[in-house]
Amino acid sequence: MRISRSTSAVAVVGAAAFALAGCSTGAPQSQSGTAENTGTTYVTTEMTDGKTEFTQVKNPNGGQVLSFATGGAMKVVEAKDGDYTYAFKDINGNGELDPAEDWRLDAKERAAAYVKGLTKEQMSGLMLFSSHERAPGDGLTEDQKTYLSQSYLRNVLNAGPSDVKMNVQWVNEMQAYVETLGSAELPYIPVNYSSDPRSDASQAASFSEAGEISKWPSSLGLAATFDPDTVLEFGKMASQEYKALGIATALSPQIDLATEPRWLRVSGTFGEDAQMAGAMAKSYVDGFQGTFSEGGENTGWGDQSVNAMIKHWPGDGAGEGGRESHTSAGQYEVMVGGNSAEHISVFQQALDAASVMTSYSITLDANGDPEYTDRMGSSYDAGKLSALRDDNGFDGVVCTDWGVTNALSDPDAFIATGWGSDSLTKEERHYAIIKNGTDMFGGNNDAAPVLAAYDMWQADYEAGTNDIDAQTRWAQSAQRVLTMIFNADAFDNPFLDLDASSAAVGSDDKVEAGRQAQLNSIVLLKNDGAITLDENADYSDKTVYVPHTYDTGRASLFSPEPEVTEGISLDEELLSKYFGTVVTDTVVDNGDGTFSYTAPDLTDVDVVLVGMKSPNSGAVFANSGLDAETGTYYPLSLQYRPYTADGPNVRQTSISGDILPDGTKENRSYYGQTSRLTNEADLDALLRAREAVDASGKDIPVIAVLKANNPVIPAEFEAQSDAIVVGFGTAQEALIEIALGKHEANGRLPIQFPQDMDTVEANKEDVAKDVTPYTDSAGNVYDYGFGLHIDGSVITD
């Protein structure tokens, strides 16, 4: 019988500790790093990634793989169990097999045993989650050494590229370094690497190639497949790639219910249907956290497992007017329809996740009062955390989103999202957040305020305010974090085999699965005879016209000056794979950030493809919806042309707003103001193409190829398009394959496409499917779940 983890203690027979190098009695055998151990005792391999040397130990009978730095202080303990001799890392160096070192035990049991030996400084360090580390190619830096050795930080956010060698070498170098920091007084703790989503294809022109990390639709694109099994397959494959890059925790999925169509983070969600979003959230968590047999059975935590962090509790998708909570303009969400329970229901289907990240927003009810307990951001709102911990019984890790212990009033604050906490010191913010039941602080590299909070807690305990002492409370959080680290095998096997990682990332099966998922997510909204299904269609002797477009850009936190982008609306190199000739516009730079275009002669053109993106009326870090100079709010819009918000459904008094010094409430209404779009030229491109076709006198199909982040109002371009193809977070190539009929259209809208901005204004921000959807010239309604096959038939369940 093969070894698996259990929740009961295992008897140890004949334990002995020794260094692998120079061992005599019971000396381990050697074999290649990739071979399976079919013997009865463990075998070792000395390995290197070109920079760091480490030892890999393979146990028999399907036992845990171990790894540690070569030549360091780490030893192993061996134990005989039946016919097999197993190795265990002697993590604390006492020469005995302790429960925390026994990989046969459950991660929670190991964590509970190990936390007892940690200092308050180490526990405080475990409560930190680093700021974004964007350059793994730089290797282990002095700044990283500082926070690892002085703040005992062990949770590192990898925000860099997915280059395999670069990541393997960085991971191994850092893991070897923290191994040297372990001692009898300061027990060894490995690094837990994490990552935001890195698998979506939204920025790609072409499908990924073997050897590159596989590319899939964004979460909204996965939702467009209407297939939770596709999400499960994604989770299984993406987690293998994460693990091969050393990433043990995924800061995903984002499962906010996308009930407000203008909200600037709709693209990261599973859409606006709570049942479907919940099913996909569960599949995502199962795929990432599970380990799967060859027959597809999920055997639970194992060597393929990556911790999932569902976010953003209790749902952040109801920002008033669609404004987004990364900036002060969007710090409030409003439950106008009293629909908090539906937003929470998505999370309830995925609470097997190892961890939960809380949202930024201050959540208000329809009257502008706190929906939960406090008029503060989620980490400070005791009612929100109680709903998670007490009402839903969640005992895993709770992590803040990044920057919530900073306030706009702080000097030199960069990312400051501690809404409502301006009157508190930084130390008091940490204390308040811990009191509410949170375990980790996103974006904090410094343990000093956590240690200050420890002293505050202890003082209040001694004064009778707190029921438990600081050591006990800190141990609760540390144990939860340690459980995540044990779950992902970081204690046992933190080092990466470069060859194995290279084989896992971008393997043929993953690349092909991602390609198929992208194709199956594409939504065909209209086909007036422009597209015919023929997977063998050959366009190599055809000519395509693709117009140019531009985006004027906008200033944001990371880009103080707007960046103007201009070019052909679909990638020309990609188009050349399909067409013999690509023609486009003549371009004149007007010198003011705008451009003028003249369409070419269409005499030889066979088809027109117009690349479009969702109307761009805002960005996450741009404080969109607020003119910082005048203090005036303006509307976010789902149409390309300027929209002035003066209709009967526009609120003239906002629900949200800051409480002013005189006790009155700020009015954040944008009534009478006009939207600020940056890519109106996309609509001009399609209309210019239609005019050129009409002027040519030829029957040339005009196909709109739309990359959507949000719902779009099609009224401005539907009648001028012979076909409309929509992708959510896919490569351009997936859209083109459908536009040319080389693959069947199978996707369906995961969000409604509205009739106009009047119905958007009437929408209650927290209520799903609450707009009047657009009806096209063929009578089709662009409602949730709508999509066509290429033959024009409506896709049904």
User: What residues are annotated to the active site?
Assistant: 401
The DSSP element (H or E) to which 277 belongs, if any, is helix 274-289
Rounded to whole angstroms, the maximal C-alpha distance in the chain is: 90
The DSSP element (H or E) to which 569 belongs, if any, is none
Phi-psi region of 762 (alpha: psi -120 to 50; beta: other; left: phi over 0): alpha
How many CA atoms lie less than 13 Å away from 293 in the CB half-sphere?
8
The answer to whether the beta carbons of residues 522 and 648 sit under 8 Å apart is no
Report d(CA 328, CA 323) in Å as an integer: 9
Cα–Cα nearest to 195, from 151, 247, 233, 127:
247
The answer to whether the beta carbons of residues 320 and 332 sit under 8 Å apart is yes
Tokens representing 517 are: 């998922």
Residue with tokens 């009978």: 61
Helices and strands, counts by H and E, the chain: 18, 30
Taking residue 462's Cβ as centre, other Cβ atoms within 10 Å add up to 11
The answer to whether the beta carbons of residues 639 and 754 sit under 8 Å apart is no
Report d(CA 464, CA 457) in Å as an integer: 10
How many CA atoms lie less than 13 Å away from 695 in the CB half-sphere?
11
Torsion angle, CA of 422/423/428/433, rounded to 10 degrees?
Answer: -50
Torsion angle, CA of 418/422/428/429, rounded to 10 degrees?
Answer: 0
Report d(CA 655, CA 667) in Å as an integer: 8
Report d(CA 221, CA 218) in Å as an integer: 5
| 100 burial level (CB within 10 Å; 0-12, 13-18, 19+) | buried
The DSSP element (H or E) to which 503 belongs, if any, is helix 498-504
Report d(CA 337, CA 340) in Å as an integer: 8
DSSP states of 122-145: HHHHHTEEPPEE--GGG-S-HHHH
The answer to whether the beta carbons of residues 619 and 681 sit under 8 Å apart is no
The answer to whether the beta carbons of residues 341 and 645 sit under 8 Å apart is no
Residue 434 DSSP symbol: H
Task: Find all residues with CB under 8 Å of 15, minimum gap 6, and list them.
Answer: 77, 78, 79, 96, 97
Tokens representing 471 are: 């050591």
Query: Taking the CA atoms of the chain, what radius of gyration do you get in angstroms?
Result: 28
Tokens representing 172 are: 């191994």
Report d(CA 205, CA 193) in Å as an integer: 29
State how beta strands 632-633 and 626-627 pair: antiparallel
Exposure string (b/e) for 226-261, b if CB count within 10 Å is 16 or more?
bbbebbbbbbbbbbbbbbbbbbbbbbbbbbbbbbbb
Report d(CA 321, CA 669) in Å as an integer: 9
